[in-house]
Structure 1
């Protein structure tokens, strides 16, 4: 145990002190910082639009009642920050001059309709297009005004509000319609925090499996190619080396994740970024802790499954130049696990997802998605965990035999037949 701790400590310190680790970590942290500040930079360089805010001009053109109905509708919207400024006159040049002087984002021009039709409404701006946020607010306001215009007092305000409110199409399973399902289960599953948690955990697993796995394989191969391995095995057994490297690199990965987490948290807590974050209407009190706990369990178990295989592959490669080709099958497996999960987030109950959640190489991502965004029974989670644990023990045993024999096999990469013969000499 003491020697295992020594190998873990040596691997951790050796990796953390390397220039490649420091530069890569700082570079990725810098990229994350820049990415988080992109919305602020855009607002900073769009000086005119920011100054204008959401001030919209409105040229009634004699249609004061309709203009007032639009203003009243928008004023009653929750979290509304749009402000209407009345403009005088009807000539385009005069209206454009007023909009420029008052630094407006744009203005609505209402022209009387022909033959009793609803007036024509046009949005005029410097860019000649309607911004998405303005469109989302003005479109229902105009529909409400048009309904009032057509009904001409025949309907009450409540009836008009019902006409202009979109119909929400709900969804439920057969079990819920028969009364056997859990009430409110669908609402909880489609919580935005569930989606964010699942997406982050899946991405975290993919990059951890790729980066730390390649890190383990490259370290084993470099030690073997430089003949340092021959010195190491005289003092520490190959098995202790393998498990020590896997755990040591795992701690290095956790340190890197912690650095990225702190970087993201610090940048999001800045005042201007806090306002942008508030616009997404995220409620961190609704954090799905069950999804988070299950996700971390599958993340850790999935990491060790891939890490042990990367260590085994690294031990049979004598030159670092051949390492990329050797780890290609493992890379393809991790890519398959990531893409199956990420492209099935909208359909987590598909047959592909159900089968993949019981396959140890893909379950660390697909099972997270099913737990967070789908309907799943506890026995399915338990069976998937048992299969994953059994796979770790089996491939750990297999990797240990490969590692023990592979670290001292030089020259060309051994064939499966040669490797099998060499493995028979050792009993683990």
Structure 2
């Protein structure tokens, strides 16, 4: 059959696209990504920031200079989220806290040795990190102003308390300009997402391929299929069909995420955070597509080969464990390598084909590997895909016709010598 490859590919696609598990999983993941895409907005509205103000009480008449300094400090902060509320006494402060009129209140104890009172922030919870940190920073500045109040004029005090202009920039050793902090942040975010997507693609679609092949073999359907379609066309038809389904799913999921991130309310929040989706490097997107394809086909052929030598689906989990461990090792090395992309471990692993789809893309995204490093890594990866694809095809050719217990490596090699792909 001249069109047998496309027939297997189309059959695989139809089965997966119509399956309830695929539809439900895609819908659930899309909903999760819609939530993630609106996370900046949800955090802004529900996370205690934005218009929500924390009311902090104090006893009227106590430590008037400090209270005046705190009031001035928070008045000068744009969109301040702390409001000082006076109460008649500490007893009323405790009642206001109990009734929810204030989130906490301040008490003062004189400390003559320091020249500034000890301040305690009293609240219902021992973990008031955000408000407590804000008050601590404000009190530190109030203390400095009180100490320096008599020795400096207003202009000198303004210069003293003016924030230092400080930013970070990635140094580039090519002719291009270095990446700014915002561009580097976007690149790191994209790299992180790509690594997770590749890991999910390898784990989910690879196991789907192996499971389908094993299920056909255990139900003896494989014996009928091999009379019409050669094993090699079967293998690549299933791999390509599953790949197209995976691409459709990824397009749906990425579309849901990007569509929600670009909504007006999210665009404004991302802009405030210094995140601009337009800062994504086009070359990084090209590398992302290449390493995704390379990683998928490298592992898909391995999963197909393993699935072909297993006669029962109950034994499949144990059989694919070595491949699963390889993907996990590559994934975790990449995640930990986000902090040290130029470490010796990363420099070595970028040339190992089972890890390079994760590691090389990571280094391109967050470091600056030399052009020859990229060329060598890609060359080794492509050669490995061709070699592993050829080997997997030979294993698949003999594996689909071997029943009973899982054959040993020696038996597989002996059977491979008897057949040509």
Matched residues in 1 for 2:251 and 2:197: separation?
12
Stretches of structure 1 that go unaligned for 5 or more consecutive residues are none
Matched residues in 2 for 1:161 and 1:382: separation?
51
What RMSD over aligned residues (CA atoms) do the two structures have, in Å? 3.6
The correspondence of residues 31-180 of structure 1 with structure 2, limited to 5 A, is: 53-59=53-59, 61-77=61-77, 80-89=79-88, 91-97=89-95, 103-110=101-108, 113-114=111-112, 117-125=115-123, 127-129=124-126, 131-155=128-152, 156-161=156-161
Q: Report deviation, 1:240.
A: 1.2
After superposition, the Cα gap between the structure-2 partners of 1:23 and 1:144, relative to the gap in structure 1 and judged at 3 Å, is: same
Provide Cα deviations, 1:155-180, integer angstroms capped at 9, x if missing partner: 42134316xx589797988xx8xxx6
Matched residues in 2 for 1:154 and 1:344: separation?
51
SS, match of residue 87 in structure 1: strand
Which residue of structure 1 lines up, in the alignment, with residue 11 of structure 2? 10
SS, match of residue 348 in structure 1: coil
Provide Cα deviations, 1:73-129, integer angstroms capped at 9, x if missing partner: 33444x53324244143x21223445677833334445655467113323233x144
Matched residues in 1 for 2:26 and 2:179: separation?
39
Q: Report deviation, 1:43.
A: 9.9
After superposition, the Cα gap between the structure-2 partners of 1:57 and 1:296, relative to the gap in structure 1 and judged at 3 Å, is: farther
Matched residues in 2 for 1:320 and 1:272: separation?
48
Q: Report deviation, 1:130.
A: 5.8
Cα pair 2:57 2:87 within 8 Å, conserved: no
After superposition, the Cα gap between the structure-2 partners of 1:135 and 1:289, relative to the gap in structure 1 and judged at 3 Å, is: farther
Which residue of structure 1 lines up, in the alignment, with residue 356 of structure 2? 363
Provide Cα deviations, 1:133-162, integer angstroms capped at 9, x if missing partner: 223432222111111222233242134316
SS, match of residue 349 in structure 1: coil
The correspondence of residues 321-332 of structure 1 with structure 2, limited to 5 A, is: 321-332=314-325
Cα pair 2:56 2:102 within 8 Å, conserved: yes
The correspondence of residues 321-360 of structure 1 with structure 2, limited to 5 A, is: 321-360=314-353
Provide Cα deviations, 1:385-421, integer angstroms capped at 9, x if missing partner: 1111111111111111111121111122222222122
Cα pair 2:182 2:274 within 8 Å, conserved: no
Cα pair 2:12 2:241 within 8 Å, conserved: yes
Q: Report deviation, 1:322.
A: 1.3
2:386 to 393, 397, 400: 393
Between the two proteins, the alignment pairs up a number of residues equal to: 417
Stretches of structure 2 that go unaligned for 5 or more consecutive residues are none
TM-score, length-normalised on structure 1? Answer: 0.84
